[in-house]
Amino acid sequence: MAQLFYGSFIYSKSLDELEYLHDAAILVDNSGKIVAVEKECGTKEKVVEKFVNQKLVPGDVKVHETVEGQFFFPGFIDTHLHASQYPNVGIFGKSTLLDWLNTYTFPLEASLADPVKARKVYGRVIRKTLSHGTTCAAYYATIDVASTNLLADLCLAAGQRALVGRVCMDQLSPAYYRDETPEAALASTRESIAYIQKIDPGMEIVRPVITPRFAPSCSAPLMKGLGKLAAEMPTLPIQTHISENKNEIALVRELFPPSSTGAKQDSYAGVYDACGLLTDRTILAHAVHLSEDEADLIASRKAKVSHCPCSNSAITSGAARVRWLLEKGVTCGLGTDMSGGYSPSVLEAARLAALVSRHVAMGGDERAKLSVEEVLYLATKGGAEVVGLEAKVGAFEAGMEWDAQLIGLGIVDSEGGVTGVSGGLEEDGNVDVFGWESWQDQVAKWVYNGDDRNTKKVWVRGRLVHERK
Amino acid sequence: MAQLFYGSFIYSKSLDELEYLHDAAILVDNSGKIVAVEKECGTKEKVVEKFVNQKLVPGDVKVHETVEGQFFFPGFIDTHLHASQYPNVGIFGKSTLLDWLNTYTFPLEASLADPVKARKVYGRVIRKTLSHGTTCAAYYATIDVASTNLLADLCLAAGQRALVGRVCMDQLSPAYYRDETPEAALASTRESIAYIQKIDPGMEIVRPVITPRFAPSCSAPLMKGLGKLAAEMPTLPIQTHISENKNEIALVRELFPPSSTGAKQDSYAGVYDACGLLTDRTILAHAVHLSEDEADLIASRKAKVSHCPCSNSAITSGAARVRWLLEKGVTCGLGTDMSGGYSPSVLEAARLAALVSRHVAMGGDERAKLSVEEVLYLATKGGAEVVGLEAKVGAFEAGMEWDAQLIGLGIVDSEGGVTGVSGGLEEDGNVDVFGWESWQDQVAKWVYNGDDRNTKKVWVRGRLVHERK
């Protein structure tokens, strides 16, 4: 059935500006596509009558409308997370990247070859991220083909837009969790790609993604093989990690001298570039300690960056300079990077992107600070560009698809209680609106104190995929 | 009625160690005092029988018990927050301290002279902080005596332990929000102190606190007058701000040359010391940019520090060196510092204390990192010492009072759903326990992803003051 959404809509117009529409309407056809966006169109009755008269869509139209304290917002794009690590969120102690991988991460990932365990973990991470408004997620699974394919099945069934990557890694990890040879890794990758393309031939919801874990885990032959595969399959995205931690960077320098790959630039980015992996379809997670030359190389290749502030602070990787990347013309989005990051929420990633940018600013460059508008752009439009879906999602425009969340805030009464917007719950989340705030201030309150309780409903391609009861 | 708590209990034994008790019991008498702590005492039936036979308390005993995924934890102590600024949480833009005060803070605080507005705001902040497990809060109100007294009334009625301070400020703020003279400020302070001591003569729940806002807002005569008042009333705590922001520090240096106060040390701490305000009852919020000499002076006076990581990052004040303070012997607790900080949650303050300590560590000193155990210590035992209540609250020991929270985590089922521990809610917060985690890991998960949904019940002095329905 077609759907008409009426009321308040907020979305990014540009990096530093939000569009606020009120008494507006968006018509979505039965395939989930936005047919019309009507601004300032008066009462709901007028809009309904107008759309009915115009007969823009065949058949009946279901009407949704916002009430006080509510607005529609584009779904969040999580441009980097490891579905397989979800049970470890919050468990990292005082570790940093390389010891964290060996202590916490590899044992858990390896254990998901058990399909019962994989179903439990993947089922949970999909529900959890949907409940936080993540309509699209770029997932790393594990090296296991069957459980990677299960993750794709579960995303498709739940209706969450997803990039699903079988992890490639043929060196340096423990023997119990490693591709045996580059050839075996490539064959397993092809197997998983073929499966995912079979279950969703149009790649409308799930897409395979070529996933070399990161350079230290991959031999040069494996990376070059994946680069060739990427060239052979030009509709597939690529995802990997770069320049997260200083010891990791030293390791890459040691493992991959330019002679080993034929790299023109002696840098981490240079290694990927030499292997055919630095493309305009490449999602690079972290990018914390890049040199000027590396960032320029990334910009020139039009590769994208997934900024993961929660992870970078939690496992003491460093503070990424997002403003600097943006000014170099590098497209950036946000990643939760579970479980280096502890939070499943892109809203929390946005909040922490703002905080980390302030820590960068404390170093002397006031301009580093990211505003509420900017972190929301990264969480939606920026993220859409990072995963190559900017024509479809990230904003509300005719021709795009309806990936959206209904946000509701709490209204404080005269005694300090709250009238919850969903079902009159007494305690309805942590965003309290007193009544005198501007819309800009309400959005800031949501960014800083909001959580999944404020995400009342979530749609992907017009399908309702989550609703708070 | 007396109460018996049975099951799992967790609390800080020392800065870096938590005590885990299972199948344990705590008996609380009808005045809220812990009469006995029994470790490893077998089944609930055995314990109940034992306590009944011993007749440790007269009359009936109500029994509370933890179920799977639950434990009792000491209530949190919020050592620094502005109740009057609560409606502004999340609203700070890219401002820093001095412009933030003029743009956002003073207008809101001044407006709370309206008792209707004050009731709405104070009512909300008390409910909100209680729901996050804050059993004791060190509040700044405003300069208005009547609404400061209202805050004390509301805390007493709600049963939240509170330090309530009328804010003293006789210079530099706008004319519409300033004490007219030092004498007027002192008279208003005495008036509010007398009122609060009248409504709770034993200062069991609410205590007045002498509150010079911060040096830039106070003339030397006002600060010296407050120092004398503090000497005259040796049971009252003192609270103020110190060394939050570099421009503020420069302003203090300009306003208070040593000759103006007779200070022996030309520093921000030296100003307070010269005015009789640097005592073992003094709570200093922030302490971000202290010099070695200042920190030594603070340590020698046994003054306490309220670390406010959320605020310090949000309004770009800096990253406080908590390890450095602790190693100098300075007692530290945590403050939400709303609304410089955006979050009402001490658990969020603990989480951000861990993250900010990692940003300090990125500067080179690995030892700066604070562990889960350490941030929980700051949130409870450390905080109790900061507010001078270490003999009563912050841990579970015989002779102390029952200020506690019942924490419940979610148990994930085989399909990725959750069995909520309270009433079987389908989505019960963001802490997911898969079943194989150690207790240490469960506590880490709570610290990093927990929120008010995990705080099922809250008691102060044995009285149930919050319960999630």
Alpha-carbon distance of A306 to A384, in angstroms, equals 11
pLDDT at B358: 98
Once rounded to an integer, what is the mean pLDDT over residues B157-165?
A: 98
Once rounded to an integer, what is the mean pLDDT over residues A158-177?
A: 97
Confidence of residue B469 (pLDDT cuts 50, 70, 90): confident
Q: Give Cβ neighbours of residue A43 (< 8 Å, ≥ 6 apart).
A: A23
C-alpha closest to that of B249 among B305, B307, B290, B278: B290
> What are the CB-based long-range contacts (under 8 Å, 24+) for A361-364?
A361/B316, A362/B316, A362/B318, A362/B319
Mean model confidence pLDDT for chain A: 95
Distance from CA of B207 to the nearest CA of A (A): 22
Across-strand partners of A304? A283
Residue B426 near chain A (CB below 8 Å)? yes
DSSP B145-209: HHHHHHHHHHHHHHT-EEEEEPEE--SSS-TTSS-SSHHHHHHHHHHHHHHHHHHSTT-SSEEE-
Cβ under 8 Å to B: A residues 307-336? 313-316, 318-319
Q: How many CB pairs under 8 A join A and B?
A: 169
pLDDT in tens, B174-186: 999 999 999 999 9
- Contact between B8 and B40 under an 8 Å Cβ cutoff? The reply is no
Confidence of residue B40 (pLDDT cuts 50, 70, 90): confident
pLDDT in tens, B374-389: 999 999 999 999 999 9
Instruction: Provide the CB-side half-sphere exposure for B147 (13 A, CA).
Output: 24
Q: What is the SS3 string spanning A158-210?
A: HCCEEEEECEECCCCCCCCCCCCCHHHHHHHHHHHHHHHHHHCCCCCCEEECE
- Contact between A25 and A47 under an 8 Å Cβ cutoff? The reply is yes
Q: Give Cβ neighbours of residue A467 (< 8 Å, ≥ 6 apart).
A: A456, A457, A458
C-alpha closest to that of A282 among A378, A203, A388: A388
Pairing of strands A238-242, A282-286: parallel
Once rounded to an integer, what is the mean pLDDT over residues B116-130?
A: 96
Tokens matching residue A138: 């770029």
Cβ under 8 Å to B: A residues 436-465? 436-437, 441, 444-449, 451-452
Tokens matching residue B436: 């194989």
- CB-closest option in B343, B415, B436 to A449: B343
Once rounded to an integer, what is the mean pLDDT over residues B82-108?
A: 96
Residue to substitute from A88, A124, A439, interface B, most B β-carbons within 10 A: A124
Helix, strand, or coil (residue B282): strand
**Are the Cβ atoms of B358 and A313 closer than 8 angstroms?**
yes
**Are the Cβ atoms of B427 and A468 closer than 8 angstroms?**
yes
**Are the Cβ atoms of B430 and A452 closer than 8 angstroms?**
yes
Alpha-carbon distance of B38 to B36, in angstroms, equals 6
Once rounded to an integer, what is the mean pLDDT over residues B21-42?
A: 93
Alpha-carbon distance of B174 to B167, in angstroms, equals 15
pLDDT in tens, A261-317: 999 999 999 999 999 999 999 999 999 999 999 999 999 999 999 999 999 999 999
* Residue whose tokens read 């595969």: A229
Question: What DSSP state is assigned to residue B104?
Answer: I
Confidence of residue A426 (pLDDT cuts 50, 70, 90): very low
Residue B126 near chain A (CB below 8 Å)? yes
**Are the Cβ atoms of B416 and A451 closer than 8 angstroms?**
no
Tokens matching residue B414: 């085989």
DSSP A120-151: HHHHHHHHHHHHTTEEEEEEE--S-HHHHHHH
* Residue whose tokens read 């102390």: B400
C-alpha closest to that of B450 among B359, B357, B345, B380: B345
Instruction: Provide the CB-side half-sphere exposure for A449 (13 A, CA).
Output: 28
For B185-211, letters b (16+ CB in 10 Å) and e give bbebbbebbebbbeebeeeebbbbbbb
Residue B301 near chain A (CB below 8 Å)? no
ipTM confidence score? 0.97
Once rounded to an integer, what is the mean pLDDT over residues B236-252?
A: 98
Instruction: Provide the CB-side half-sphere exposure for A259 (13 A, CA).
Output: 1
Nearest CA in chain B to A245: B362
Tokens matching residue A121: 């973990």
Across-strand partners of A19? A11
Alpha-carbon distance of A140 to A123, in angstroms, equals 15
Q: Which residues of A touch B116 (CB under 8 A)?
A: 414
**Are the Cβ atoms of B451 and A430 closer than 8 angstroms?**
yes
Helix, strand, or coil (residue B248): helix
pLDDT at B426: 44
Instruction: Provide the CB-side half-sphere exposure for B252 (13 A, CA).
Output: 23
- CB-closest option in A89, A116, A444 to B449: A89
Alpha-carbon distance of B358 to B363, in angstroms, equals 9
Residue A346 near chain B (CB below 8 Å)? no
Helix, strand, or coil (residue B273): helix
**Are the Cβ atoms of B434 and A359 closer than 8 angstroms?**
no
The helix (H) or strand (E) run that includes residue A436 is: none
Residue A124 near chain B (CB below 8 Å)? yes
**Are the Cβ atoms of A369 and B316 closer than 8 angstroms?**
yes
Alpha-carbon distance of B278 to A205, in angstroms, equals 63
Nearest CA in chain A to B343: A449
Confidence of residue A468 (pLDDT cuts 50, 70, 90): confident
Q: Indicate the angle between helix axes B346-362 and A346-362, nearest 10 degrees.
A: 50
Domains and CATH numbers, chain A: 2-74+396-467 (2.30.40.10), 76-386 (3.20.20.140)
Residue B48 near chain A (CB below 8 Å)? no
Alpha-carbon distance of A161 to A229, in angstroms, equals 23
Residue to substitute from A84, A358, A443, A445, interface B, most B β-carbons within 10 A: A358
**Are the Cβ atoms of A87 and B355 closer than 8 angstroms?**
no
Tokens matching residue A155: 């995303």
Once rounded to an integer, what is the mean pLDDT over residues B157-169?
A: 98
